[in-house]
């Protein structure tokens, strides 16, 4: 016999109400003191009947109680969902690896379905021999595996002019972090023979948007990966199955999905995505171009507006993520008072180059109001700037590359809100 | 290379495979294959095809292929990109970045339109049509006169107003030198809230967790019979339509009307959608979408309903048409 244990997940509002009242932990503790916790003293159905058999879900999804931990879209951002973006639920995740199923998506012409059999990769332009590879060909090159973050250049872009979106998912969720398996681009280019005058590669996808970006040869020969697996399994459709480009530390738009062509050139192509978009307009009206690197950044993922404190006073785990496109994270500082005083957070593991780093700060919270911020340092000595520092240099119209320090106003009832402070 | 050196290199590279030697994988790309895929165009004109197009031709092609999203005058519809206007706004609070006000190279416009537009039917325009559309966009931005003809020969003569408006990434000079100090204690005296996201209130609401979807579905009237297998195949065909049309729960009019319940419905009758004059007339005549009329329309939209706003070229395979109609029948 199979029993389905239908639980009912509390809504966010119920959570908030609970937090405001007293805190769920406190309630459970007092119930136990009175007559014993019925979850312990009474026999529970799951401890008597059997659960699902092994083949109930040949490929498993998260249990239904986690159904709120999903990608979310902000409808007013784009004209429709086919050329749009959604957000990773970073407020509800822990560790550093992003499960593929909830890793943010960005499409310019929708997520296409391309089989391995129909996949072709062309290398042309300034090479000795233009070549075509099948998926099976790619599988015969020596492979590497690396963990890298992929962040959209527009992550936090809605916050330039002020605190807008109330949740870490929406302010910082255009990011994911996966273990990629693939072939270094340099290995594949070497196979075609790079001509000395080739100084750029132009990479292009197979979907209708035919998204294309120019990448300088130094980077192409350094750490760029032609990847076909992530987190141990095939890439998901929405992340470019069967093959995508991985451009460590550089803006997500360059991580071309459904990679179909790499052209070696002696100049950038200046495609739409590297001129009209992904260029950063400054206050005087001039715009920066070729702003590829994602600078050091961090955010407290919990507590945060979508992840309020629900347990009342006492031990509180403050946690978040830090990353840098210019190397490894070396330190993360956290402030509880809006930047008057900072303390060094504990890194879950030493920072890895161009990968997410998880940090924790364990405190004894006595219900005081907090202005929570985190501040990342990377191996170059760069320290994550405040929004005011960024605005001083760039103004309000840059859209992209907003790596400012984020503030969550945590109230005495445990709720949190996205605010800007002086 | 000596064995000793090999050992050192292997030890240094650790996990990196040594791949200096070619492996002989892949096969030579044929010239016609390269020609089919290598369509990109550089600012110096490399890659431009021979051809030409006038502003006047462009106006016509634009109205058919582009205007439903970008507006008749390239002014943009809803959230779709505005292609014209915005001159001298780049240093304003809310700059309007269009082909005219922002794009530094005209090659980018030709390249992008030829490879990626129209949305949902990319690479369906002739090279001359693309020249004509680019000419019309220039005209919409007051950059050329209405008798202008753009061709591969005069392409580089067009001056883009914001060509000089870009600098290379200068963060190393303007930011990295400053962003490296971190005060740890007594860094400021006061902290005041200057802006709150909750006051602005533009964050999407959490969806309700109680979902009475099954009950709602049961309460709805029985849908007309359809072939489930054919409809499933049609769902795949419908991907071609999705750029402009929505169906099902929460469907909204986009650049095309909602298609829920379209089979059996009056032509041009979706509330809130701004139909072409053609469709308004068909509606007034009492026309109804049945399988035959839908099939004829989908095979060649512009032939069946001259003047329709639908830019889609039509479904070539009868099988696709049958399947997509079956899918639409399933969407009641």
Evaluate whether residue A5 is within a structural domain: no
The answer, as to whether pTM is greater than 0.90, is: no
Is any Cβ of chain A less than 8 angstroms from the Cβ of B221?
Answer: no
Give tens-digit pLDDT for A232-269: 999 999 999 999 999 999 999 999 999 999 999 999 99
pLDDT, position A31 = 52
The answer to whether residue B210 scores a pLDDT higher than 50 is no
Residues 260-319 of B with CB under 8 A from A: none
CB B193 within 8 A of CB A421: yes
Residues A131 and A128: their CA atoms lie apart, in Å, by 9
In angstroms, what is the C-alpha Rg of chain A?
Answer: 24
Range of weakest confidence among A71-80, A168-177, B172-181: A71-80
On average, the pLDDT of chain B sits at 85
Q: Which strands sit side by side in the sheet containing A346-347, from one edge to the other?
A: A297-302, A314-323, A357-365, A346-347
Q: Which residues of A touch B198 (CB under 8 A)?
A: 166, 417-418
Partner residue facing A162 (CB), from B15, B188, B195 = B195
- pLDDT category at B15 given cuts 50, 70, 90 is very low
User: What whole-number distance in Å separates Cα of residue A284 and Cα of residue A387?
Assistant: 18
How does pLDDT run across B138-166, given as a tens digit for each residue?
Answer: 999 999 999 999 999 999 999 999 999 99
pLDDT tens-digit series, residues A303-328: 999 999 999 999 999 999 999 999 99
CA nearest to A86 within chain B: B204
Residue B309 pLDDT > 70? yes
Burial of residue B277, with CB atoms counted within 10 A of its CB: 0-12 exposed, 13-18 middle, 19 or more buried: exposed
- CATH number for the domain whose boundaries are B223-330: 1.10.760.10
Question: Is residue B218 very low, low, confident or very high in pLDDT (cuts 50, 70, 90)?
Answer: very low
In a domain, A79, yes or no: no
Model confidence at B211, in pLDDT bands (50, 70, 90)?
A: very low
Quick one: three-class SS letters along chain B? CCHHHHHHHHHHHCCCCCCCCCCCCCEECCHHHHHHHCCCCCCCCCCCCCCEEEHHHHHHHHHHHCHHHHCCCCCCCCCCCCCCCCCCCCCCCCCCCCCCCCCCCHHHHHHHHHHHCCCCCCCCCCHHHHHHHHHHHHHHCCCCCCCCEEECCCHHHCCCCCCCCEEECCHHHHCCCCCCCCCCCCCCCCCCEEEEHHHHCCCCCCCCCCCCHHHHHHHCCCCCCCCHHHHHHHHHHHHHCCCCCCCCCCCCCCCCCCCCCCCCCECCCCCCCCCCHHHHHHHHCCCECCHHHHHHHHHCHHHHCCCCCCCCCCCCCHHHHHHHHHHHHHCC
pLDDT value for B221:
39
pLDDT above 90: percentage of residues in chain A: 88
Mutation choice for B interface testing from A77, A130, A411 by most B CBs within 10 A: A130
Q: Of how many residues is chain B composed?
A: 332
Residues B63, B72 contacting (CB under 8 angstroms) = yes
Least confident span in A49-58, A388-397, B68-77, B306-315: B306-315
**Three-class secondary structure of residue A79 per DSSP:** coil
Split at pLDDT 50, 70, 90, the class of B12 is very low
Digit-coded pLDDT (tens) for B99-121: 999 999 999 999 999 999 999 99
Q: How confident is the model at residue B3 (pLDDT cuts 50, 70, 90)?
A: very low
> Do the Cβ atoms of A190 and B16 come within 8 Å?
no
**Which residues are within 8 A (CB) of B219 and not within 5 positions of it... i.e. 6 or more apart?**
none
pLDDT at A30: 56
For B220-242, how does the pLDDT look when each residue is reduced to its tens digit (9 = 90+)?
Answer: 334 457 788 888 888 888 877 87
Residue where one domain finishes, among candidates A267, A288, A309: A288
| A357 has a pLDDT exceeding 70 | yes
Last residue of a domain, one of A237, A266, A288: A288
Q: How many CA atoms lie within 13 A of B256 on its CB side?
A: 19
Give me the mean pLDDT over the A52-70 stretch. 94
B163 touches chain A (CB under 8 A): no
Residue A97 lies in a domain: yes
- Could you say which architecture CATH assigns to the domain B47-157? Orthogonal Bundle (1.10)
If asked whether residues A345 and A279 sit together in one domain, one would say no
**Residue A143 structural domain:** 92-288
- Residue A3 is assigned to a structural domain of this protein: no
A125-151 residues labelled b (16+ CB within 10 A) or e (exposed): bbbeebbbbbbebbeebebbebbbbbb
List, by residue range, all CATH 1.10.760.10 domains of chain B.
47-157, 223-330
Do residues A40 and A57 share a domain?
Answer: yes
Does A154 share its domain with A101? Answer: yes
Q: Which residue has the higher pLDDT, B328 or A94?
A: A94
Give the DSSP H or E segment for A24. helix A24-35
Domain boundary among A288, A318, A342: A288
Question: Residue A32: its pLDDT value, please?
Answer: 54
- CB-count exposure of residue A325 (10 Å: 0-12, 13-18, 19+): buried
Q: What is the pLDDT of residue A25?
A: 47
Model ipTM? 0.89
Q: What is the Cβ-side half-sphere exposure of residue B6, based on CA atoms within 13 angstroms?
A: 6
Of all residues in chain A, the one with the smallest CA distance to B241 is: A82
Which of A145, A210, A344, A382 is best to mutate for the B interface (most B CBs within 10 A)?
A210
Residue A78 is assigned to a structural domain of this protein? no
What is the C-alpha separation between B288 and B266, in angstroms, rounded? 4
The upper half-sphere exposure of residue A41, i.e. CA atoms within 13 Å in the direction of its Cβ, equals 8
Counting the structural domains of chain A, the total is 3
Average pLDDT of the residues in A75-89: 90
Q: Which of B102-116, B241-255, B283-297 has the highest mean pLDDT?
A: B102-116
Nearest-by-CA chain A residue for B184? A342
Neighbour count for residue A393 (Cβ, 10 Å): 16
Q: Are A360 and A345 in contact (CB under 8 A)?
A: yes
Q: How far apart are CA B231 and CA A325, in angstroms?
A: 47
Residues of A in contact with B120 (CB under 8 A): 208
Q: Sort out which chain B residues have CB atoms less than 8 A from A288's CB and list them.
A: 166-171
Indicate if A391 and A315 belong to the same structural domain.
Answer: yes
- pLDDT at residue number B207: 55
Task: Establish whether the linkage from the previous residue to B306 is cis, with ω within 30° of 0.
Answer: no
pLDDT recorded at residue B20? 65
Nearest neighbour of A79 by CB, restricted to B20, B79, B182: B79
How much of chain A exceeds pLDDT 70, in percent? Answer: 92
Task: Based on the fold, state whether residues A238 and A199 are members of the same structural domain.
Answer: yes
Question: A48 and A99 share a domain?
Answer: no
**Which residue has better confidence, B306 or A332?**
A332
> Is the CB of residue A324 less than 8 Å from the CB of residue A331?
no
**Cβ partners under 8 Å of residue B252, min gap 6:** B246, B258
Higher pLDDT, B254 or B215: B254
Question: What are the CA-CA distances from residue A130 to residues A127, A184, B332 (Å)?
Answer: 6, 18, 51
**A16 part of a folded domain:** yes
A85 assigned to some structural domain: no
**A71 within some domain:** no
Q: Are B326 and B294 in contact (CB under 8 A)?
A: no
The H or E element that residue A373 is part of is strand A370-378
Q: Note whether A157 and A101 are same-domain residues.
A: yes
**Does residue B165 belong to the interface with chain A, where contact is any CB pair within 8 Å?**
yes
What is the rounded distance in angstroms from the CA atom of residue B235 to the CA atom of residue B242? Answer: 10
Which CATH number is A136's domain given? 3.90.420.10
């Amino acid at each position: 016999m199979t029993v389905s244990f239908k639980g009912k997940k509390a809504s966010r509002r119920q959570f908030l109400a609970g937090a405001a009242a007293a805190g769920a932990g406190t309630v459970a503790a007092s119930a136990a003191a009175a007559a014993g916790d019925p979850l312990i003293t009474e026999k529970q159905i799951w401890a008597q009947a059997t659960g699902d058999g092994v083949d109930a879900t040949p490929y498993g999804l998260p249990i239904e109680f986690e159904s709120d931990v999903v990608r979310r879209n902000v409808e007013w951002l784009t004209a429709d969902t086919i050329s749009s973006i959604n957000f990773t639920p970073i407020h509800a995740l822990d560790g550093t690896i992003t499960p593929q199923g909830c890793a943010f998506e960005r499409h310019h012409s929708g997520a296409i379905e391309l089989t391995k059999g129909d996949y072709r990769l062309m290398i042309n332009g300034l090479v000795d021999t233009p070549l075509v590879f099948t998926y099976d060909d790619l599988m015969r090159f020596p492979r590497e595996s690396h963990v890298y973050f992929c962040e959209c250049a527009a992550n936090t872009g809605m916050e330039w002019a002020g605190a807008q979106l109330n949740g870490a998912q929406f302010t910082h969720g255009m990011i994911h972090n996966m273990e990629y398996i693939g072939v270094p681009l340099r290995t594949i280019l070497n196979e075609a023979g790079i001509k000395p005058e080739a100084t750029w590669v132009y990479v292009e996808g197979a979907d209708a948007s035919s998204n294309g970006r120019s990448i300088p040869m130094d980077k192409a020969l350094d750490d760029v990966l032609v990847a076909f697996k992530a987190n141990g399994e095939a890439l998901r459709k929405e992340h470019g199955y069967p093959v995508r480009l991985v451009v460590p530390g550089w803006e997500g738009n360059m991580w071309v999905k459904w990679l179909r062509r790499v052209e070696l050139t002696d100049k950038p192509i200046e495609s739409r995505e590297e001129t009209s978009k992904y260029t950063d307009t400054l206050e005087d009206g001039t715009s920066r171009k070729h702003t590829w690197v994602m600078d050091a950044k961090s955010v407290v993922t919990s507590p945060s507006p979508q992840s309020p404190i629900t347990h009342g006073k006492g031990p509180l785990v403050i946690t978040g993520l830090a990353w840098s496109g210019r190397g490894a994270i070396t330190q993360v500082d956290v402030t509880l008072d809006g930047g008057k005083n900072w303390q060094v957070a504990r890194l879950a593991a030493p920072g890895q180059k161009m990968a997410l780093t998880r940090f924790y700060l364990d405190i004894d919270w006595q219900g005081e109001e907090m202005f929570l911020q985190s501040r990342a340092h990377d191996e170059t000595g760069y320290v994550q700037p405040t929004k005011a520092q960024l605005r001083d240099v760039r103004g309000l119209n840059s859209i992209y590359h907003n790596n400012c320090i984020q503030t969550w106003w945590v109230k005495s009832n445990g709720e949190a809100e996205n605010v800007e402070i002086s | 290379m000596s064995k000793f050196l090999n050992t050192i290199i292997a030890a240094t590279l650790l996990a990196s495979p040594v791949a200096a030697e070619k492996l002989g994988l892949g096969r030579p790309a044929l010239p016609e294959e390269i020609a089919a895929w290598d369509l990109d165009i550089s600012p110096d004109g490399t890659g431009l095809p021979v051809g030409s197009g006038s502003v006047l031709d462009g106006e016509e092609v634009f109205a058919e292929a582009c205007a439903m999203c970008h507006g008749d005058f390239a002014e943009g519809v809803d959230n779709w990109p505005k292609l014209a206007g915005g001159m001298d706004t780049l240093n304003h609070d809310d700059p309007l970045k269009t082909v005219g006000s922002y794009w530094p190279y005209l090659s980018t416009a030709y390249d992008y339109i030829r490879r990626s537009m129209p949305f949902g039917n990319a690479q369906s325009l002739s090279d001359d049509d693309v020249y004509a559309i680019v000419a019309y966009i220039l005209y919409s931005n007051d950059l050329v006169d209405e008798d202008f003809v753009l061709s591969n020969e005069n392409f580089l003569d067009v001056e883009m107003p914001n060509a000089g408006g870009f600098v290379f990434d200068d963060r190393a000079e303007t930011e990295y030198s400053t962003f490296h100090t971190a005060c740890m204690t007594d860094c400021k005296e006061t902290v005041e809230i200057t802006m709150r996201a909750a006051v602005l209130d533009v964050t999407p609401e959490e969806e309700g967790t109680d979902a009475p979807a099954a009950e709602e579905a049961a309460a709805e009237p029985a849908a007309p019979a359809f072939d489930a297998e054919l409809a499933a195949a049609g769902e795949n065909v419908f991907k071609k339509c999705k750029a402009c049309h929505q169906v099902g729960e929460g469907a909204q009019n986009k650049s095309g009307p909602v298609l829920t319940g379209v089979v059996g419905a009056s032509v041009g009758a979706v509330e809130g959608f701004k139909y072409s004059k053609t469709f308004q007339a068909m509606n007034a005549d009492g026309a109804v979408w049945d399988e035959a009329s839908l099939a004829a329309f989908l095979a060649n939209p512009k032939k069946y309903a001259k003047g329709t706003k639908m830019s889609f070229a039509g479904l070539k395979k009868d099988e696709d048409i049958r399947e997509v109609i079956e899918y639409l029948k399933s969407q009641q």
